[in-house]
Amino acid sequence: MKATATANSNIALIKYWGKRNSKLILPHNSSISMTLDKLHTTTTVDFSEKYKQDSLTIDGSKVPVDELERVSIQLDLVRRAASTHLKAKVVSESNFPKSAGLASSASAFAALSLSASKALDLHFDNRELSILARQGSGSASRSIHGGFVEWSKGTKDDGSDSYGKQIAPQSHWSSLAMVVNVVTPKEKKIKSRAGMSQTVKNSPLYKAWLETVDADLDNARKAIADKNFSLIGKTAEMNALKMHCTMITTEPHIIYWEPDSVVLMKEVMRLREDGIECYFTMDGGPQVKVLCLEKDAKKIQKRMLGFKEVKESIICHTGGEAKLEKKDLF
Ligand code: 2P0
């Protein structure tokens, strides 16, 4: 009753921002992401009678009760499906800073869903796994798959049609890269969950977000299918800016950008003026991710590392699906 799984993080090119059902995690809009090959989480889950309560260790530290509760609720879903009340020990390790806007909950809940269901011998297909992961964290529904993934918002109240589907495999666009620049590894103050809930409630721009996102999704699907770099880049950059505009215009304002983030966004615009085509995207944190062609990735990374603000820069490509590991973490 022990299993280990690894899942990659993903970065949305068309963002998920806002829930229509916060218990089941059903979004107001569909989203499209690229699974990354270099940022991942590995999780071992062991269910046993010897455990009196669930426990969770992340990157070597026991986590506080509020974070444990979210994981226990996720384990409850798996326990219910397997008709067991056994408690679990969970140990998780990521190779990147958590809660800093690098989609750590995506890889974490995808890895947890796969390892926990395997530990209890449940044979979920990718659709069922994605639905399970979604209930832990929305973006995790996309990290079950590799390559390019669309999480359909669905229309059903029970969420059975709201899950991630691969729209292009990992090998589809090998000349595409994403340079992930970390300006601060610190955990963010406002979690995405609270940020998006506040935005839905009181941003005057949220309606405009929903009115324009379907056109962005159409363009992104077409751009990925045709490997049209200019179209995916322009669409993703504009979509990220629109999402940030919705949160900046809530009360109190949610501004995830640090001054350093703005410096880097402007540098991306300057790179374009210099003839190096690249585009930025940003999530619920200060990090700036640069979408580019492989041939330019090293040049762009060098320019980014030239800023003292950039603590770390990682060149990523499309990654693979969540998978089981032979070796356990404990
Ligand atoms: C995304 N983000 O599509 C968007 C863009 C951040 C900005 O999904 O409440 O941790 O657990 O469903 O998935 C981050 O939010 O939120 C996120 P919950 P999640 O990647």
Chunked in runs of 10, what are the mean pLDDT values of the chain (330 residues)? 97 97 97 97 98 94 85 97 97 81 86 98 96 97 98 98 98 97 80 90 96 98 98 98 97 93 96 98 94 98 93 95 98
Find where tokens 């990157």 sit.
59
Q: How many angstroms separate the alpha carbon of residue 138 from the centre of ligand 1?
A: 6
Q: Which domains does the chain have, with CATH numbers?
A: 2-172 (3.30.230.10), 176-316 (3.30.70.890)
Tell how far CA 66 is from the center of its chain. Answer: 21
For CA atoms 130, 133, 138, 143, the dihedral sign is: negative
Protein residue with its CA nearest to atom 7 in ligand 1 = 283
Report the pLDDT value the prediction gives residue 175, as an integer from 0 to 100.
Answer: 97
Q: Ligand 1 centre and the CA of 35: distance in Å?
A: 14
Tokens of 122: 């449940």
pLDDT at 192: 85
Q: Ligand 1, atom 12: nearest CA belongs to which residue?
A: 138
Q: For a pocket test of ligand 1, which of 105, 131, 180, 237 has the largest count of ligand atoms closer than 8 A to its C-beta?
A: 105
**81 within 8 A of 7, measured Cβ to Cβ:** no
CA–CA separation, 11 vs 286, rounded Å? 14
The letter for the amino acid at 151 is W
CA of 17 to the centre of ligand 1 (A): 7
What does each C-alpha distance from 39 to 78, 148, 178, 317 come to in angstroms? 25, 15, 12, 10
Dihedral sign for Cα 256, 310, 33, 98, please: negative
Residue 317's pLDDT is 98
Cα four-point dihedral sign 168, 170, 171, 175: positive
48 C-alpha to ligand 1 centroid (Å) = 32
Pair 223, 235: CB distance under 8 Å: yes
User: Do 17 and 6 meet the contact criterion of CB atoms below 8 Å apart?
Assistant: no
Ligand 1 pocket, residues with Cβ under 6 angstroms:
12, 15-17, 25, 31, 103, 105, 137-139, 192-193, 283-284
Distance CA 54, CA 57 (A): 10
Residue whose CA is at the smallest distance from ligand 1 atom 8: 139
Return the SS3 of 73: helix
Q: Supply the pLDDT for residue 100.
A: 63
Residue 101: its pLDDT value, please?
A: 65
Instruction: Name the closest-CA residue to atom 18, ligand 1.
Output: 137
**SS3 assignment, position 47:** strand
How many CA within 13 A on the CB side of residue 181? 32
Q: What is the pLDDT of residue 99?
A: 57
Q: Is the Cβ–Cβ distance between 126 and 150 less than 8 Å?
A: no
Taking alpha carbons only, the member of 205, 216, 273, 211 closest to residue 240 is 216
Q: What's the Cα-to-Cα distance from 161 to each of 66, 139, 153, 156, rounded to whole Å?
A: 29, 15, 8, 6
User: What DSSP line would sit under 262-284, residue for residue?
Assistant: HHHHHHHHHHHHTT--EEEE--S
Helix H or strand E encompassing 221: helix 206-226
Asked whether the CA dihedral 195, 197, 202, 206 is positive or negative, the reply is positive
CB atoms within 10 A of CB 63: 17
The CA 46 to ligand 1 mean position distance, Å, reads 27
Ligand 1 centroid distance, CA of 105 (Å): 8
**Would you list the DSSP string of 1-32?**
-EEEEEEEEEEEEE----EEETTTTEESS-EE
